[in-house]
Structure 1
Amino acid sequence: MEAIANITRLETPVHPYYPLEIQIVGYVANQLSVPHLLVSFAAGCAAIFSITTVIVTKIRPHLPRSELLTVLWFVLSGCIHLFFEGYYVLNHTRMGGQMDLFGQLWKEYSLSDSRYLTSDPFVLCMETITAAAWGPLSFLVAALITTESPLRYPLQAIVSLGQLYGDVLYYTTSMFDHFHKGLSYCRPESYYFWGYYFFMNTFWIIIPLVLLYNSVTATARAFKIAEQTAGKTRQKKLN
């Protein structure tokens, strides 16, 4: 029995993720450096912004700057949701051994949340919904804004509320485990918590809140104008 236990310990790869006792199937340490990974991610975002700006300005040369920024946000969200988070959904059972760029990016981020390397049920379900629903719909909202479709506002509200809801649950489930069960999925170094876990996810709370507010106020204005127009029409008929 002791020999079997020793073999088991030898077969269990050492990893830097918390809690230290979690099992990560097929774990292999990243080969790319952290600066390389961060620069690659930033370069990908810059490429998305550049290509989107060129396409959108050709379609609508006089698109207001605020609207262009909103389009860029939804295109970036669509790419991250559909391709990056979709990658996780497809590979969640073997994330520990993934050595391509997306795999190593996920393993770097997972230093702030190891649930991504253990097929955590909540994270997997949340990311599946995000990739399948909010990814394609983000691209659709970007197209609707570019073409000045009035459908933009209800769909913008739906996507923004979905992003906000998912991110709030993501934070609260982790905090519940931390305070109620004493489980921490983040390494103790503060930059992992504040840089990766907090800062990177805060965008999907602040920006969706602003866009949700814009959608609600735009919808309210539209109903008010419609009611005023209907009232004037009724008044004319009475006269």
Structure 2
Amino acid sequence: MIEREFTGQSWLTFRQALSLGGHVRRGERGTTVVYADRFVPYDEKRRAAVTDEDAQAIPFLKRFTVFNTDQCEELPDDIAIAAPPPPAGLIEPTVDALIKASGIPFRIGGDRAFYATTEDYVQVPPPQAYFEPINWHRTALHELGHATGHPSRLNRDQNGSYGTKKYAFEELVAELSSAFSCASLGIVPTVRHAGYIGSWLQVLREDNRAIVRAASQASKAADYLLGFVPGSIEPASLRSVVADHEVA
């Protein structure tokens, strides 16, 4: 959607467009999506019932070609359906309050997490898209960590392209900021920060002070974000939680 500058995240197959009274515009190129699931064959269910064992599910993949609604014509006006809000309880109240109080434009939806530097907004898939919703907080705080670098906030250099040292350094800052924030808020993701941090340190392996400089910037980013928590956490508390944290 972002690469091709579509205005919405609504997709349908060629036949679905026709069934709705519309059609795909001539010359448009479709996008391949893959649906993954498991099913238990009838014979396997019978075998399990006879042997009193667990039935073995068979994984499968099904491929579809879909088109964005922007690529279609004559569709009903109400075809684009907004994603439902996350179910209550999946987002920690303190993180929800932080997001709202920060004033950083924050969108929930789509299929990937990112911070748009030019437009200055964060987008993260809904918590229910994660196998374990607690990991949503690590991702959200990572992208918010990037957003603190905007010129109107902490004004970090975010001009590095993917794979460069500048890019790697900014990723370190964002992930360390997420780790510090999670630790301060008592959030324990099951996906560990250390592996991600280590992957970007490889890019900076000849700079043995990169982690120290990144941690300093990350501490400022986390302090900035945590300042929006109701009854905000004192910045100094970061120093105490880091000592016990896996990335310290």
TM-score (norm 2): 0.28
Larger helix fraction of residues: 1
The structure with the largest strand share of the pair is 2
TM-score, structure 1 normalization: 0.28
